[in-house]
Amino acid sequence: MIDFIAQRMIQAVFVMLVVALISFSLFQFVGDPINNMVGQEATEAQREALREQLGLNDPIPIQFVKWVGNAMQGEFGISYRMGKPVDQLIAERLPATLELVFLSAILALAIGVPMGVYTGLNRYSWLSRVFLTISLIGISLPTFLIGIILILTFGVWLGWLPTFGRGGTVDLGGWQTSFLTLQGWSHIIMPAFTLALFQLTLIMRLVRAEMLEVLRTDYIKFARARGLKQRSINFGHALKNTLVPVITIMGLQIGALLAFSIITETVFQWPGMGLLIIQAIQFVDIPIMSSYLVLVALFFVLINLTVDLLYYAVDPRLRIERPGPAH
Amino acid sequence: MLRLSLVLVLSAFLALAARTADAQEKVFRYAASGDILGLDPHAHNNGPTNAMKGNLYGSLIHRRPDLSLAPDLATEWERVDETTWIFTLRDGVTFHNGNPFAANDVIYSFERQRQPGAEMATAVASIATIEPIDDLTIEVKTSAPDPTLLLNLPLFFIVDEEYTEENDGFDVALAAGAQSFVNTNANGTGPFRLVEWVQDNRLEVERNAHWWGHGDDAGNVERAIFTPIGNDATRVAALLSGEVDMMYPIPLQDVPRLTGHPDVAVLQGPELRTIFFGFDQHRDELLDMPGSGENPLKDGRVRRAFALAIDKEGIKRVVMRDAATPTGLMIAPGIEGFQEDMNTPYPFEPEQAKLLLAEAGYPDGFPITLDCPNDRYVNDEAICTAMIPMLERVGIDVTLNAQPRSLHFNKIGAPSGYDTSFYMLGWTPGSFDAHNVLQNIITLDGPGQGTWNSGRYSNPRIEELTDLIASTVDSEARDALIREAFQIHYDEVGHLPLHQQALAWGVRTDAVAEIVQRPFDDVDLRYVTLD
């Protein structure tokens, strides 16, 4: 087990180095940051001095090595646009995104799994058909459109929820949380639901398909024959056996939630990582872009590791130690 | 699901409660498409950023919304000789932290603003020295006679020497490589004081109770919260739901819809920025005609053909939905040196354009690439797209290269060696004076000249006139020189001016009683009156 984790960690470092290198070579194509940093009347000498000061005249490999060297020491550079250390900026923005993604994942699971079970058990009921139709909408409408429709309905027409931003946060030792005030909830609920909708429908359809599959198997028939309670068959045996693929998909999807939060955050002006990176791209803020990409790579690696560990928890077969090499 | 809707309903009540709490204090909430670049009054030279600095900091002279000049920290000024001015400073002014304002702060601010790294140095570039005569009188000497000195002073912001030194803030850091205290804090003499700035999220200011100007023509805002909202639809929704009292810019396609809303007023007016096109008149061979050894754009007749081929009224009507003013001059009305009678756009005469091209030896036209930004000006890419068939009608084969601003300005600018043949650019003269355009766009020789003259247009007489304009104080004589320079530029079609785009602001009429729209896209909070 420890071997396994250590092996994964070594892979993670390698993955992140590759991501950093690829992103660095891409930055050449996003433009010259200097134009965004100085006004239209700045002279060429001022521009050149700034370029030199930032080390932008160095060849790309040298810039990369310098950046990795600094990152090893926990120095991620200073944002061109904001003039603040990148790690500080990311630390400021990360709670907003993580809370958003966390709530979305909870919503997707808490609504998606029961809906999936229900539609799997009651294939022909009218409610199942309604759920399936809704899921078709959820899966086919793009995120930004769902966001705008929600804003229009609950923000503009009904006037119940704020249309943009994050408010009512409480400071918990440096972590700004939305979950402790009603106002905080009122701000987070629409973006979280927008972000969750696609995952929700995906999970629902996946659980439904898996349930239909499992319900046909022999051990369910035997469980019925033994006279077990319907409830215990459905949840104790059937649902549990559908969970491995659900966990895999959910793990990948949490990574996708982090990535897709860019669109949701832009639509709701949610001050998280997505907004930070989109503005960094527009501004060609290289320190932020490179740190962000490496961080996202790290998240993916960690999520995959967690998923692998969860398999052990859910599936007893995996807990049996691998047999040693034959002598 | 039931619990979810309960949360929704509860939060709705809460939102309502929050709204009524706001009503006791005069709070103005407004939004724009992007955040300010920083609070350091001497670092960035950018319109919306300068406007926010103007809310927080005082300068010697204030520019009113109609662009006229009014006393701010200087109450009187007088020219002693061609290069010497005496300014009398306002007595009894304090900075937000309570420190008194005096001559030493002006001198310190001058030294800080003129540093080579500071973009705002351009506003004090002509000043040679500032000497104190006593605590409330200073003597300003310019290096040459400077008719635009007073026009530049609204952008000379005064910081507190004691406070800045305490925080080790003399050096201007252009938000690169270094963190800067002055860029994230503010201590000025302006009508508002900074409460909090969370970058990209919110900027909150409150009324400065000790401001000297209360009771004049000022508004009644006690607290203002500025939020950048990048997404157009979200910004419109925030206005419609009443969560912001004012926002800009309105996307052009939403203007009619917002105009029809009972509680929203749309303020439209021309901006001071002129959008124009430039031509490569420098290379001996056009980039799109390799091997030909020819650059048709060096021929004035070809440039005129371009000017005649473009239907400026059509662009205004269709692409800009009437939110533009076609123009013939490189400067907008309101800029010092603007000549009303010279502002007629080039006529739309495609047949004449064909004749001119044939006369110049290109009866079948030639290929050319049009460089265009796609996220900088109102409908920039759409304008360029609309121009393709217009130019093709006279035989010119246009390839459009539309890119984000960071790439566009890099390509057409000095870093890439002005790698362009035909490009779009917009310019607002920072000093609101014609000389600024002549210096940056229309001339080449001399230090600091031709920064954005990407086509390398140059005419010896205009070069000469520009130097004269810089130092001619007599306004009538100066006006004649400006006329002559612009006439030559117009006749030669040095650049092709297109239009001034319109500003479009959305204002909640149920919250805002009065707001003054200046001809640039930003808000001076002292001119906002709430219900």
Nearest CB partner across the interface for B241, out of A155, A271, A278: A155
Record the pTM.
0.81
Cβ-defined contact of B119 to A39 (cutoff 8 Å): yes
Q: Kindly give, in sequence order, each residue whose CB lies less than 8 Å from that of residue A271, ignoring residues fewer than 6 positions away.
A: A93, A96, A165, A166, A265, B198, B200, B201
Please name which of A120, A136, A16, A4 lies closest in space to residue A68, comparing C-alpha atoms.
A16
Nearest CB partner across the interface for A162, out of B15, B46, B119: B15
Q: Kindly give the residue spans of alpha helices, DSSP state H, lying in B288-329.
A: 300-309, 312-314
User: Taking 90 as the threshold, does the pLDDT of residue B420 lie above it?
Assistant: yes
The model's pLDDT over A103-120, given as tens digits with 9 standing for 90+, comes to 998 998 899 888 988 888
Tokens for A171?
């400071």
Tokens for A290?
């490179």
User: Taking 70 as the threshold, does the pLDDT of residue B295 lie above it?
Assistant: yes
Residue A258 pLDDT class (50, 70, 90 cuts): confident
- Could you identify the residue written with the tokens 């009651």? A122
Mean pLDDT, residues A191-200 taken together: 89
Residue B16 pLDDT class (50, 70, 90 cuts): very low
Nearest CB partner across the interface for B14, out of A43, A183, A284: A183
Alpha-carbon distance of B485 to A49, in angstroms, equals 33
DSSP state of A153: I
* pLDDT recorded at residue B277: 96
Q: Distance from CA of residue B385 to its chain's centroid?
A: 25
* pLDDT recorded at residue A165: 84
Q: How many domains does chain B contain in total?
A: 1
Domain membership flag for residue B405: yes
Mean pLDDT, residues B29-49 taken together: 85
User: Taking 60 as the threshold, does the pLDDT of residue B17 lie above it?
Assistant: no
Domain membership flag for residue B439: yes
Residue A314 pLDDT class (50, 70, 90 cuts): confident
Domain membership flag for residue B259: no
pLDDT mean across residues, chain B = 88
Residue B175 pLDDT class (50, 70, 90 cuts): very low
Domain membership flag for residue B436: yes
* pLDDT recorded at residue A138: 81
Tokens for B506?
């959305």
Q: b vs e for B372-385, b when ≥16 Cβ sit within 10 Å of the residue's Cβ? A: bbbebbbbbbbbbb
Long-range contacts of range A211-220, CB-CB < 8 Å, 24 or more positions apart?
Answer: A211/A116, A211/A117, A211/A120, A211/A121, A211/A238, A211/A239, A211/A242, A212/A120, A212/A123, A213/A242, A214/A238, A214/A241, A214/A242, A215/A120, A215/A121
Among A238-242, B499-503, B505-509, the least confident range: A238-242
* pLDDT recorded at residue B1: 40
Q: Distance from CA of residue B443 to its chain's centroid?
A: 20
- Residue type for B520, please? F
Alpha-carbon distance of A198 to A145, in angstroms, equals 12
Interface residue of B199, B274, B411 to substitute, partner A, most A CBs within 10 Å? B199
Q: How far is A215 from chain B (nearest CA, A)?
A: 27
CB-based burial label for A284 (10 Å; 0-12, 13-18, 19+)? buried
Sheet with B137-142: list strands edge to edge: B74-81, B84-89, B137-142, B127-134
Domain membership flag for residue B381: yes
- 3-class SS of residue B283: coil
CATH of the domain at B401: 3.10.105.10
The model's pLDDT over B246-283, given as tens digits with 9 standing for 90+, comes to 999 898 888 888 988 999 999 988 888 999 999 999 99
How many helices (DSSP H) and strands (DSSP E) are in chain B? 16, 20
Residues of chain A found within 8 Å of residue B200, distances taken between Cβ atoms: 271, 275-276, 279
User: Taking 70 as the threshold, does the pLDDT of residue A156 lie above it?
Assistant: yes
Q: How far is A36 from chain B (nearest CA, A)?
A: 7
Report domain extents, chain A. Answer: 2-72, 89-319
Cβ-defined contact of A31 to B410 (cutoff 8 Å): yes
* pLDDT recorded at residue B369: 95
* pLDDT recorded at residue B271: 87
Interface residue of A47, A131, A150, A163 to substitute, partner B, most B CBs within 10 Å? A163
- Could you identify the residue written with the tokens 């007599």? B474
* pLDDT recorded at residue B449: 81
B122 touches chain A (CB under 8 A): yes
User: Taking 70 as the threshold, does the pLDDT of residue A41 lie above it?
Assistant: no
The model's pLDDT over A198-252, given as tens digits with 9 standing for 90+, comes to 888 888 988 898 888 888 888 888 888 888 888 888 877 788 778 878 888 888 8
* pLDDT recorded at residue B179: 64
Alpha-carbon distance of A149 to B60, in angstroms, equals 49
Mean pLDDT, residues B406-424 taken together: 85
CB-based burial label for B204 (10 Å; 0-12, 13-18, 19+)? middle
Q: Which helix (H) or strand (E) covers residue B423, if one does?
A: strand B422-427
Domain A89-319 has CATH 1.10.3720.10: yes
Q: Between A and B, how many residue pairs show a Cβ–Cβ distance under 8 A? A: 183
Domain membership flag for residue B119: no
Alpha-carbon distance of B428 to B419, in angstroms, equals 23
Residue B441: domain span: 274-502
**Greater model confidence, A12 or B395:** B395
Length of chain A: 327
Share of chain A above pLDDT 70, in %: 93
Mean pLDDT, residues A55-78 taken together: 77
Mean pLDDT, residues B472-495 taken together: 93
Q: How far is B368 from chain A (nearest CA, A)?
A: 23
Please name which of B235, B390, B248 lies closest in space to residue B319, comparing C-alpha atoms.
B390
- Could you identify the residue written with the tokens 């076609």? B326
User: For chain A, first and last CA: distance in Å?
Assistant: 23
User: Taking 60 as the threshold, does the pLDDT of residue B531 lie above it?
Assistant: yes
Residues of chain A found within 8 Å of residue B375, distances taken between Cβ atoms: 282
